[in-house]
Chain A
Amino acid sequence: MPGDVISRFASVRLGTRGNQRKEQGFGQVNGHHGEILQGVFPDDVGRLYRGLVTLPCNIVSSTAVFRPAPGNLVTVPDDKLKAAEAARLTLDSLGLHDQGGHLTVESTIPVGLGMGSSTADVVAAIRAVADAHGAALAADEVARLAVRAETASDSIMHGDLAVLFAQREGNVLEHLGPALPPLEVLSVNTAPGTGVDTVKQPPADYDDWEVQAFRPLRGMLRRAIRTGDAALLGRVATASARISQRHLPKPAFEEINAIAASTGALGIQVAHSGTVVGLLFDPRNPATARRVAEATSRLDTIGLPPALHFRTDAVEVRHVA
């Protein structure tokens, strides 16, 4: 019987259900700081997909704990609806249709800034449920569950891997390399206190030129990653930010860009569905500390003091403000 095959498959993946189930499972994932690149990209056969390359931000994260129990699924806090949905989908995918439990999600990721708070809650929840049942899900499986729970997801389940990620399908369009070249990021929230409903936003309606313009950005990104060239990465990010400016404009974009250019930043980078903008610096350049300090004071004078300062290759936080 087909049903038998499926449940046998599920129990193989879980190990034997009763034995492998833990008292509680744990899931965690880091947030991000928007994207280096976001647009539409052809796959191998030329079909276009919406896709993005995330800029990791390892100083913020979401954490979930799941305690399996029969019956209902209870989520705390109870407004984490996407995380609850993701936990339910994960249980179902493991064949545990009538199992529930208690899910707790905690996050240090600010909401509405485009730093991946929603996807982080979802991914942490999926990992916690899987962990509680002794199942280690591959990043691709986590991604597919995540997009089912929230329609479009960020690529944070891939960690520091540099991937061009189709955020609506949950597929990797292209593996770009083990990681982006390291960056030092000075983060500005361009719309403090307002925020963007990152999930409800309509997808950008790129025009015919923009659809084509993403190709050279992708080409330069490949080279930036292959050769570890942070300067090229800054060019790609700035170009993508410029296109995004036509679709979800950031206040003070030109001022921030001018400050970046005049303080020797490699470029700027935006959350394409959020409010944060990052000034990108080369952590390997000895002048960076001085440049960051200068950019910080210039940002202060336009009323946008940087809220965060972090390196993409280190879990180290230096709050500027």
Chain B
Amino acid sequence: MSLEMTMSQPLSRESRGFPDYELPRLVRLTDNLHGAAFFLMKLLPARHMLDRAAADGRLKPGGTICETTSGTFGLALAMLAAVRGYRLILVSDPAIDEHLHKRLLELGVTLEIVEKPYEVGGFQTARLDRLRAALEANPGSFCPSQYGNADNPRAYAEVAEQIAERLGHVDCLVGTVGSGGSMSGIARFLRHLNPDLHVIGVDTPHSVVFGQPDGKRLLRGLGNSLVPPNVDHRQFDEVHWVGAAEAFLATRRLHQHHALYQGGTSGAAYLVADWWARTHPDRKVVTLFPDEGHRYVATIYNDDWLTTLPGWTGVLPEAPQPVAHPSDVRPNWSSFRWDRRTLDEVLAAGTPVARDLAEAA
């Protein structure tokens, strides 16, 4: 859409929404560590994507939105669809949380649960097929596609504005990466004001986002089985992989020490950001806490559930284990110098084994 068209568009704020729920509350955790605690981070990109689609006609008044998600993005879309009068079809799988399921139904969502995974491609491909069918069955419907829609990262200019206004100069940004929208978006906006900004992406073992081989993951919300186009790999100086048990324990620490009741990805971000802030006491760090803890009462905040997790030790590691290549998968917290490279550049740099052989030759 051209700038002149954008400028003559109807007002986004006139469309109903939750402006005061979109931005995080900034909390100072230590001298040099600030947390940006969201109610539901996805409200901001969801609202921006819908605004933009409504402005250029991809989404008609009273139109239909189709998306595949079983997480917070679906909830954000459902809240907006409910107050803006859109029909919302969400494709999900049986792993969807029971309470979230009920909540989505209450908000008027048409939920399509894919019952069986494909033999090749699993639930992910099965869900994408079902989404395609839903889009075909509803001509003119709009799919926000949070993984590829450039309005997802661009939405986060408002968070960057808030950080710049409240914290001024920031040295380091730490956050989890799922679709890549929040971290790629905020990193690029803040780096425009500070080219030296140090950016740390937090992923989880067996997520392919930063080049690990795909596998089963217990920690949800971050990581992915595909590489979303919205991950701008060149924004990242460091990548950390945090396991489920340590992320959940860190989530509890965040509550115990700082009284912030947040979800599991917040714990993963906190673990890494707290370590970096401790080891760089003269640098200002800000980290993102994407959602609140209420959805995790029966899990992360339930000791019976938590202590039976695979890999549960009850102690937090002091520091990450540095690895020389993403293919070096560790079950626990590990870190890697990404150095603002593309995924291809990092993978082409060779596995440690290949490099050792080359050096030996």
Interface residues of A, Cβ cutoff 8 Å to B: 40, 45-49, 205-209, 211-213, 215-220, 222-224, 227, 229, 231-232, 235-236, 239, 242
Interface centre among B160, B193, B194 (most CB of A within 10 A): B193
User: In the complex, are the beta carbons of B169 and A232 less than 8 A apart?
Assistant: yes
User: In the complex, are the beta carbons of B163 and A216 less than 8 A apart?
Assistant: yes
9 CB-based A-B contacts, threshold 8 Å: A45-B13, A206-B3, A208-B154, A212-B157, A216-B163, A216-B164, A219-B160, A223-B166, A231-B169
User: In the complex, are the beta carbons of B7 and A48 less than 8 A apart?
Assistant: yes
| Chain A residues, CB < 8 A from B11 | 45-47
User: In the complex, are the beta carbons of A211 and B162 less than 8 A apart?
Assistant: no
User: In the complex, are the beta carbons of A236 and B160 less than 8 A apart?
Assistant: no
User: In the complex, are the beta carbons of B168 and A232 less than 8 A apart?
Assistant: yes
- Give chain B nearest CB distance to A53 CB in angstroms: 15
Known contacts A45-B11, A45-B14, A46-B11; is-contact A216 B150 (Cβ 8 Å):
no
Q: Mark B1-36, 1 if CB is under 8 A from A, else 0.
A: 111001100011110000000000000000000000
Interface class of chain B by DSSP = helix
User: Is B189 on the interface with A (CB-CB < 8 A)?
Assistant: yes
| Chain B residues, CB < 8 A from A215 | 157-158, 160-161, 189
User: In the complex, are the beta carbons of A223 and B168 less than 8 A apart?
Assistant: yes
Q: Mark B172-211, 1 if CB is under 8 A from A, else 0.
A: 0000000000000000111011100000000000000000
| Chain A residues, CB < 8 A from B155 | 212
Give Cα distance in the complex from A75 to B210, angstroms.
68
Give Cα distance in the complex from A95 to B151, angstroms.
50
User: In the complex, are the beta carbons of A211 and B164 less than 8 A apart?
Assistant: no
- Give chain A nearest CB distance to B221 CB in angstroms: 24
User: In the complex, are the beta carbons of B189 and A213 less than 8 A apart?
Assistant: yes
3 A-B pairs closest in CB distance: A219-B165, A212-B157, A219-B161
User: In the complex, are the beta carbons of B168 and A217 less than 8 A apart?
Assistant: no
User: In the complex, are the beta carbons of A219 and B162 less than 8 A apart?
Assistant: yes
Known: A47-B7, A213-B157, A236-B193. 4 other contacts (CB 8 A): A212-B157, A215-B189, A216-B164, A231-B169
- Give chain A nearest CB distance to B26 CB in angstroms: 12
| Chain B residues, CB < 8 A from A239 | 192-193
Interface centre among A206, A208, A229, A231 (most CB of B within 10 A): A208
User: In the complex, are the beta carbons of A205 and B2 less than 8 A apart?
Assistant: yes
Interface centre among A211, A216, A224 (most CB of B within 10 A): A216
User: In the complex, are the beta carbons of A220 and B193 less than 8 A apart?
Assistant: yes
| Chain B residues, CB < 8 A from A211 | 3, 6
Give Cα distance in the complex from A216 to B166, angstroms.
11
Give Cα distance in the complex from A5 to B166, angstroms.
50
| Chain B residues, CB < 8 A from A224 | 168
Give Cα distance in the complex from A224 to B165, angstroms.
8
- Give chain A nearest CB distance to B337 CB in angstroms: 25
- Give chain B nearest CB distance to A121 CB in angstroms: 29
User: Which of the residues B3, B154, B188, B194 comes within 8 Å of A40, measured between beta carbons?
Assistant: B3
Known contacts A40-B3, A47-B11, A229-B168; is-contact A216 B194 (Cβ 8 Å):
no
User: In the complex, are the beta carbons of A219 and B164 less than 8 A apart?
Assistant: yes
Give Cα distance in the complex from A173 to B190, angstroms.
23
| Chain B residues, CB < 8 A from A236 | 193
| Chain A residues, CB < 8 A from B12 | 46
| Chain B residues, CB < 8 A from A48 | 6-7
- Give chain A nearest CB distance to B163 CB in angstroms: 7
- Give chain B nearest CB distance to A51 CB in angstroms: 12
Give Cα distance in the complex from A1 to B188, angstroms.
61
| Chain A residues, CB < 8 A from B169 | 231-232, 235
| Chain A residues, CB < 8 A from B13 | 45-46
Residue of B nearest to A209 (CB): B154
- Give chain A nearest CB distance to B302 CB in angstroms: 39
Interface centre among B13, B164, B190, B192 (most CB of A within 10 A): B164
Give Cα distance in the complex from A224 to B11, angstroms.
29
User: Which of the residues B1, B3, B157, B164 comes within 8 Å of A220, measured between beta carbons?
Assistant: B164
User: In the complex, are the beta carbons of B154 and A216 less than 8 A apart?
Assistant: no
| Chain B residues, CB < 8 A from A47 | 7, 11
Give Cα distance in the complex from A224 to B17, angstroms.
31
User: In the complex, are the beta carbons of B3 and A216 less than 8 A apart?
Assistant: no
- Give chain B nearest CB distance to A49 CB in angstroms: 8
User: Which of the residues B6, B161, B194 comes within 8 Å of A218, measured between beta carbons?
Assistant: B161
User: In the complex, are the beta carbons of B14 and A216 less than 8 A apart?
Assistant: no
Give Cα distance in the complex from A212 to B3, angstroms.
12
Give Cα distance in the complex from A225 to B151, angstroms.
30
Give Cα distance in the complex from A106 to B11, angstroms.
44
Known contacts A212-B157, A213-B189; is-contact A219 B163 (Cβ 8 Å):
yes
User: In the complex, are the beta carbons of B193 and A235 less than 8 A apart?
Assistant: yes
| Chain A residues, CB < 8 A from B162 | 219
Give Cα distance in the complex from A219 to B161, angstroms.
5
User: In the complex, are the beta carbons of B189 and A216 less than 8 A apart?
Assistant: yes
User: In the complex, are the beta carbons of A220 and B168 less than 8 A apart?
Assistant: yes
Residue of A nearest to B52 (CB): A208
- Give chain A nearest CB distance to B167 CB in angstroms: 8
